[in-house]
Amino acid sequence: MKIKIIAISFLIVFLFFSGTLVGDNDPIKTADVVTSPIQPILNPKHELRAAWITTFTNLDWPSKKGLSDSEQKLEFIRLLDELQMNKINCVVVQVRAAGDAFYPSKYAPWSEYLSGKQGVAPKYDPLQFMIDQCHQRNMEFHAWLNPFRAVSSAQFSSVCENNLYNKHPDWFFKYGSSVYFNPGIKEARQHILNVVGEIVNNYDVDAIHFDDYFYPYSIEGEFINDAAAYKMYGTSHPSIHDWRRNNINELIKETSALIKFTKPYVKFGVSPLAFWRNKKQDPQGSETQSAQTSYDNLYCDTRKWLQKGWIDYVVPQLYWSRKSPYASYKNLLNWWTSHDYKGHIYIGQALYRLEDETKQGYQVSEVLEQIKLNRLEENVHGNVFFRAKTFRNNAQNIQDSLQSSLYKYPALIPAMKWLDSVPPCAPHNLKIKINEDGVLLKWKEPEIKSDNDGAYYYVVYRFEKNEMIKISSAKNIAAIVKQTSYFESGKNKDGYRYIVTAVDRLHNESTEFASEN
């Protein structure tokens, strides 16, 4: 949708106004900070800034089992407010932690991490509540699923009577202390597709997000008990290892097709282990020495998923420092950005290591320098922080560090042009009213063209009296709002000019803008 300029005038308004596998043996100290010879973009206008909210074992939310509905809601609101204050524009919330659900489901029981006992329903819909709270703040909500973990601990987990593990034991295998869906069983993979379809059909999510757990991480002395399934379904493949990879490939391909058939604007992303393969295993691999890799241990050919366009984004978990002798952050970043993919690359950042007092811990400078390195890479479109609670704890004063520098200004989520490249029309009839308390801006919604792609939110830009009107800088963003009005308080008598643009759901911004008549 194209925009029309609304009244080109002087635009001058006088206003009263004025952020197990291989470890690091040498933690980074403040003095180790490496200054890049190329200066990164300090304040990018487009950047995904997200945080993982982990429900598994109550790591982030709810803080413990058995909280009342009102306590759960209040905790989530406080967490979102904290993240929003730090310019976070997206959350990735775990709504399926272990064969369970944080919403009423035909396919999975209620999570034990809510009530303390699997199958016990709250008196509200947590998923709907969380989505509503995020969208009110103009934050994207990515529904995070652990697809194959069925029972976290065979000894300690709460497993209700109608759990699929009790109904179809042949769909599962035990590995270590946990129970997993067998990806080689077609009915088990179809169950995962049913779960995804239920969420996409019933909820206004912005994305479906899978984590790094597919086949389990290797444990010495353990073996995957799927020989019978291989004999039944996989003998056309050269080896059981190739068959396992094909099972995961099929799930990823079918999940992508299901999402796009149901709601084409819903994104699909995966956050894999940082290592596809080591170079010693494959000349196409990374300059790393990881004990486990996605391809060989988890049976995930993440590179193929990007090459085929089956996923819209990837979030490699780059949880190692720049000084790691085994897995240098810079080497991993170079590997992930050295391939030309259609999808976006966001980097998974190990914010939790700010609270780690072992040798693997980080100084805050390490996190900041990693973000700077990301911004040097054209193929990197943002960051996802693990975990959200680290923000709440403000480990090593990370909040002030981000707010005063790298996250000083807000950012728009980058558009995925292969999903939608058409911007909305411009808002119009911008009116500005000034009084002793501040300035009030009001405008009209844009015209909707035939593609029915209207404004999802608006960006309000503020300019100095003699400043050139350019919407390319985040510094000029005064606000990002859902409604067709904005009030800015203040008593400074400097002169400012304002314009407003419209942005659609997939973050295409109008090429023209509304200005005061």
- Is the confidence at residue 240, as pLDDT, over 70? yes
Q: Please state the rounded mean pLDDT for residues 174-186.
A: 98
Percent over 70 (pLDDT), the chain: 91
Q: Please state the rounded mean pLDDT for residues 265-284.
A: 97
Q: Please state the rounded mean pLDDT for residues 428-452.
A: 89
pLDDT grade, residue 452 (50/70/90)?
Answer: low
428-435 and 438-444 as β-strands: parallel, antiparallel, unpaired? antiparallel
Q: Please state the rounded mean pLDDT for residues 245-259.
A: 98
Q: Please state the rounded mean pLDDT for residues 397-410.
A: 96
pLDDT tens digits, residue range 26-47?
A: 333 333 334 444 567 788 999 9
What pLDDT does residue 192 have? Answer: 98
Classify residue 356 by burial, with Cβ atoms within 10 Å: 0-12, 13-18, 19+: middle
Q: Please state the rounded mean pLDDT for residues 120-128.
A: 98
Nearest by Cα to 55 from 139, 145, 174 = 145
For residue 388 the two structure tokens come to 């959200």
207-210 and 140-145 as β-strands: parallel, antiparallel, unpaired? parallel
pLDDT grade, residue 19 (50/70/90)?
Answer: very low
Report pTM: 0.92
Strands (E), 423-471: 428-435, 438-444, 457-464
What pLDDT does residue 491 have? Answer: 58
Domains of the chain: 12-18+419-515 (2.60.40.10), 47-406 (3.20.20.80)
For residue 457 the two structure tokens come to 């939110």
Q: Which of the pair, 7 or 466, is modelled with greater confidence?
A: 466
Least confident piece of the model among 20-29, 72-81, 161-170, 299-308: 20-29
What pLDDT does residue 366 have? Answer: 98
- Is the confidence at residue 507, as pLDDT, over 70? yes
